Amino acid sequence: MKLTKRFDNLLPILATLFAALMFIGLFSGNVLADDYDLCGNNHEFTSDFRTGDCQFKTVGANPYFILKPGYQRILESDEEMSIETVLCKTKTINLDGRRIKTRVYEERALEWDEDEEEWVTVEISLNWFAICKQTNDVYYFGEWSRDCEDGFDENDDCEGDESNDGSWEAGVNGAMPGIMMPGTFLLGAKYFQEIAPPDAMDRGENREMGLDWPEEGDPEYTDCVLVIDTNPVEGGDACGDDDAKTYCPGIGLVQDEDMELVEYGFAGCNKYLDDDEDEDD
């Protein structure tokens, strides 16, 4: 009888505590808010990465992501091309009282113009990455995106209306860094790559490992992995398996949907940072 009374007295306290925990889980950081979760499963993806425990460097690599100045990959399909280059530039991010130096990683998206029979650059984005020394995870700190439907000229000036939608920076307007590629590939792991609602909320899921690439014919590379990217803000097809990316060790991304690797290597760089410049300021 006494134990029952004591338990009854605890019920209101436990109910209040449970409600408080639910409130915190649903609304902290807005990551799990319904407006940003049209897929309905944000709670399955890691969004707290304890970046305060990391010392960051701007030069290095993990098995599936190369962050070395001058490194370049070109992926191509019949209609699209992507040229990705690790630049010799860095950008400092101000996050929670820290000044974190990141590496600038340029992506150029091109489309084939059938009338002119040439490739036209339609998007140029500067992405900011850094590697956690303790875990070898590659963190994504934001991007400056420039979209131009009419194409850029030889000076990278947009020849029509330019859009900067999707641009974001960790530490600005509540945005936080995500992980682009974990240092250890854990099968089934789910994590946010971008945490900047409502414009940038991409997520990654480690779907397969131990793959050969390409799948048909004699494989050129082994021990590759498959990551599925989803976007909970867009919903619909963006919640499925439509954005599949294959990464191979020592190279990085080799296939993005229909685009496949056609060339990789070092394009040259006239400036490498000294070791002491790779640390947090």
76-86 tens-digit pLDDT = 999 999 999 99
Looking at the structure, do residues 20 and 134 belong to the same domain, yes or no? no
Rounded Cα gap, residues 37 and 231, in angstroms: 9
**Side-chain half-sphere CA neighbours of 165 within 13 A:** 7
Looking at the structure, do residues 243 and 271 belong to the same domain, yes or no? yes
Task: DSSP letter for 156, please.
Answer: S
**Which residue blocks in the chain are alpha helix, DSSP H?**
2-27
Q: Domain of 1?
A: 1-30
Q: Note the pTM of the prediction, 2 decimals.
A: 0.85
Looking at the structure, do residues 81 and 216 belong to the same domain, yes or no? yes
User: H or E segment at 105?
Assistant: strand 98-113
pLDDT tens digits along 251-260: 999 999 999 9
Looking at the structure, do residues 24 and 73 belong to the same domain, yes or no? no
Looking at the structure, do residues 134 and 104 belong to the same domain, yes or no? yes
pLDDT tens digits along 130-166: 999 999 999 999 999 999 999 999 999 999 999 999 9
Looking at the structure, do residues 72 and 20 belong to the same domain, yes or no? no
Looking at the structure, do residues 187 and 52 belong to the same domain, yes or no? yes
Looking at the structure, do residues 20 and 122 belong to the same domain, yes or no? no
Looking at the structure, do residues 150 and 220 belong to the same domain, yes or no? yes
3-class secondary structure, 238: helix
- pLDDT tops 60 at residue 7: no
Q: Which two tokens stand for residue 103?
A: 């590496």
Looking at the structure, do residues 19 and 157 belong to the same domain, yes or no? no
Looking at the structure, do residues 4 and 47 belong to the same domain, yes or no? no
Looking at the structure, do residues 98 and 120 belong to the same domain, yes or no? yes
Q: Specify the number of domains making up the chain.
A: 2
